[in-house]
Amino acid sequence: MDFDELQNTIRTIEAKVPGVLSDAGSIDALRSLESGILGKKGSLGSLIATIGRYPQDQRGKVGQAINAAKGRIKGLIEKRFKEFQAADAAEEVDAAAAFDPTLPGDPIPMGAVHPVTAVQWEVERIFERLGFTVEAGPAMETEYNNFDALNIPDTHPARDMQDTFWLTNGMVLRTHTSPVQHRSMLKFGAPLRVIAPGQCFRYETVDASHDTTFYQIEGLLIDRDISIPNLIAMAKLLLNEVMQREVKVRVRPGYFPFVEPGIEIDMNCEICDGVGCATCKQSGWVEVLPAGMVHPSVLKAGGIDTEQYTGFAFGLGLTRLAMMKYGIRDIRVLNTGDLRALVSPRRLGGVLLC
């Protein structure tokens, strides 16, 4: 190729440049165009290698012609490059302007505490204020702790009061939280103030107010000069605080082998407001707090000096209290894992089960 042809080639290459540059859609595309034109193997860049083929006296102007074109093309590429940079910066500014840091974030789906747990915590706080310690006992109990230590020997008909799940190892799934009374007496001695929330199990026919698994909170107070009025005062305070208002209660005699005398403290049924419904078996009352003065045999089994000390005990029906508090009509809902019961117990009681 002679010098004139070279100039033509250069012109042809340069003529195409503005078109391909404006077609380039990104900085990356621009960079690959640049190497396709100016690079060693590029349409213009590769011409440098041909300089040696020209006569000695022409090589200078050949080189100048190529380099001048190279400079012009580089200028155009740089200009386009700056356009891209400016557009990117504008986009960032737009994005920053569109982001409002004062808007609330996307809601994060969150779990909630089970209604029974919520009431348990509330009851624990109330008793802690009254100087009680919170204790726990095992769900799998010895026959002795569940029965014998509570004045229910093998031959006692009261064993039939509670339908028991017997385990093949001779132990039982505790039928009540009362065994923790015995454990606590041995652990702490007297005087003593303790509550023990926990899961209990009975081999029962399931209906609206009975399930095979339920929760109780055992309570035990041992001190000098303790009597039934102390127990009733405490029960009223507890129920009023949990329900956040004055709750109607009634006290009637009850029989439990581990207390003498034994009483039943019932509360007004909150589902029907005392009118009578399936949950309260049409009575208008719900048994939530069986209790009594601790039987001397139970105190003795726990190593307590019955000459000096008396005490009261109670077995709060935690599941029932949670049903009353949240208006849940059917105990079975609480063990089904229905998430609506966890998220909004009020709604569950009010809407789903009405």
Q: Which residue is nearest to ligand DAH (CB)?
A: 315
Closest CA to 186 of 304, 316, 282, 92: 304
Nearer to ligand DAH, 180 or 328 (CB): 180
Site string for ligand DAH, 214-253 (x = CB under 6 A): ----x-----------------------------------
Q: 250 has which bridge partners? A: 266
Residue 298: CB minimum distance to ligand DAH, A: 9
- Give CA separation, 200 vs 54, 178, 210, 216, 323, in Å: 103, 10, 12, 7, 17
Nearer to ligand DAH, 30 or 318 (CB): 318
Q: 262 has which bridge partners? A: 254, 292
Q: How many residues in the shown chain lie near ligand DAH by CB under 6 A?
A: 12
Indicate the Cα dihedral angle 63, 68, 69, 73, nearest 10°.
140
Residue 290 makes contact with ligand DAH by CB under 6 A: yes
Residue 311 makes contact with ligand DAH by CB under 6 A: no
Site string for ligand DAH, 35-74 (x = CB under 6 A): ----------------------------------------
Computed on alpha carbons and rounded to an integer, the radius of gyration of the chain in Å comes to 43
Segment contacting ligand DAH (CB under 6 A): 94-102, 109-117, 188-196, 288-296? 288-296
Closest CA to 31 of 46, 21, 40, 44: 21
Segment contacting ligand DAH (CB under 6 A): 61-69, 122-130, 233-241, 313-321? 313-321
Indicate the Cα dihedral angle 134, 135, 138, 144, nearest 10°.
-130
- 62 class by beta-carbon count within 10 Å (0-12 exposed, 13-18 middle, 19+ buried): buried
> What is the number of residues in the chain?
354
Nearer to ligand DAH, 47 or 145 (CB): 145
Exposure string of 65-104, with b = 16+ CB inside 10 Å and e = fewer, is ebeebbeebeeebeebbeebeeeeeeeeeeeeeeeeeeee
Segment contacting ligand DAH (CB under 6 A): 15-23, 51-59, 206-214, 287-295? 287-295
Q: Which of 259, 265, 321, 341 binds ligand DAH (CB under 6 A)?
A: 259
Residue 162: CB minimum distance to ligand DAH, A: 6
- Window 180-209: residues binding ligand DAH (CB under 6 A): none
Residue 178: CB minimum distance to ligand DAH, A: 4
Residue 164 makes contact with ligand DAH by CB under 6 A: no
What does DSSP say about strands 140-141 and 172-173: parallel, antiparallel, or unpaired? antiparallel
Q: 106 has which bridge partners? A: none
Q: Which of 173, 196, 217, 291 binds ligand DAH (CB under 6 A)?
A: 291
Segment contacting ligand DAH (CB under 6 A): 60-68, 115-123, 275-283, 310-318? 310-318
Q: Which residues bind ligand DAH (CB under 6 A)?
A: 176, 178, 218, 256, 259, 262, 290-292, 313-315
